[in-house]
Structure 1
Amino acid sequence: MLSVEETKGVTEAAHIPQQRGEPLLDNAVRYAEERHWEVFPGTWLETDGGLERCSCGDEACAAPGAHPFRPDWAAQATGSPAAVRRLWGAHPGASILLPTGRTFDAFDVPESAGFLALARMERMDVALGPVACGPDRRMVFFALPGAAAKAEGLIRGLGWSPAGLDLVAKGEGGYVVAPPTRVAGQGAVQWVRRPTHANRWLPDAEELISPLAYACGRDAAAARTR
């Protein structure tokens, strides 16, 4: 059972404010200019017979409008605002994707575990970085570059089996989908904790793994009892 404080934190965090979408280009430029994050355009949504479909053309696309559309996406990523404007000028509706392993790594967990971990981190006064939540009910915690490589060892050191936790560490070669990208039929990616000047300095793996592993373990245990 959650403590009263944890329950309160999860309840408050679950009410993510609805964020009105700004043009994707404006957000992509802001990430490059203000956060010095590299960005690259992904697929986009196209309307066909009143239905939204992914520009990749795959009718069974798992993330319509929110994945890379070129095999060389890693080389396409840029932190130049001028280059960002050129890229989105060609495809204004392209999703915003951020490569991991460069200016940040990320930990991807189920939304339920993410809200529990967030409540615990706030109680522990962990200096959090940005946190995003997708319509696929996954939450992404931003961390320092190199954090992903430490994750497995830290999880084992805490007595957990990495294979038994739904905790995905994203480092070099990975990417995250950034707000306000919208996934067809599901909704938009949103910030739970927006990028601000106050959270410019990102936490390392050691600060995040313990509450994340605990929350994912509780989440897995709860799933087994349902």
Structure 2
Amino acid sequence: MEHAVRYAEERHWDVFPGTWLEAVDGVPRCTCGEARCHAPGAHPVRSSWSGEATGSATTARRMWAKEPRASVLMPTGRTFDAIEVPETAGCLALARLERMELTLGPVICAPDGRMLFLVLPGATAKVPDLVRKLGWSPSALALRARGEGDWVAAPPTRLGTRGSVQWARQPTAANRWLPDAEEIVPTLAYACSRV
């Protein structure tokens, strides 16, 4: 609850509760009940999740009071989009972007080997053309934009038995303003082409 409320209160990000892990015969299982769940403990509970997301700290408190074990999920396409890359490429790009002294937003590191760079909304429409202009086919790179109708798991959400989602770059006052996709896609695409 504390994290969901903080995201809504301090960053004005919409949040909504997702599934969580429960031990069944000593084995952690997703509360969705699917044996082959694609994101155990970290996906929407209902198909109506988009309409349930809130930027109100009061409403977030109420939601997590009903189910305190729920994961913290945030819809993309509202206050931010996310550009997802493999962790190896993300670390390479992050180091390069920091050396270039570019203003970066928060960056999420997922335990399944992915990094998500938060950018201004609208990235899903821009990324394929940006990648083509750089000389690559969008399908040739492991670079994906998440926008309208999608979501990301927020720290400290636990993702299966692999661990918890964490911040590679935490949200701070210094990175309140997010970059546009155009500012970081060239470096992310280059890093993806190298790994």
SS at match of 2:174: coil
Displacement after TM superposition at 1:170 (Å):
0.6
- Letter aligned with residue 36 of structure 1: H
| Distance apart, 1:148 and its partner CA | 2.2
Cα distance in 2 for residues equivalent to 1:90 and 1:182: 19
Q: Deviations over 1:79-118 (max 9, x none)?
A: 0111101111111010111100000001000000000111
Q: CA deviation at 1:167?
A: 0.4
Aligned match for 1:151, one of 99, 106, 127:
127
SS in 2 for 1:52: strand
Aligned to 1:184: 160
Q: 2:78 aligns with which of 88, 102, 107?
A: 102
Secondary structure in 1 matching 2:36: coil
- Aligned residue for 2:65? 89
Any stretches of 5+ residues in structure 2 without a counterpart?
none
Aligned to 1:203: 179
User: What is the rounded CA distance, in whole Å, between the counterparts of 2:123 and 2:39 in structure 1?
Assistant: 26
Q: How many residues are matched? A: 195
Letter in 1 for 2:100: M
* Aligned-residue RMSD, C-alpha: 0.7
Q: Does 1:76 align with 2:52?
A: yes
Larger radius of gyration: 1
CA shift digits 1:132-185 (9 cap, x unpaired): 101101000000011221111111111111010000101101111100000121
Match of 2:93 in 1: 117
SS at match of 1:198: helix
Q: Distance in 2 between matches of 1:126 and 1:212?
A: 13
Partner of residue 141, structure 2: 165
1:214 is paired with a residue whose SS is helix
State the TM-score, normalizing by the size of structure 2: 0.98
Percent identity between the two aligned chains = 63
SS in 1 for 2:47: coil
Structure 1: give runs of 5+ residues left out of the alignment: 1-24, 220-226
Distance (whole Å) between structure 1 residues aligned to residue 20 and residue 147 of structure 2: 24
Partner of 2:189: 213
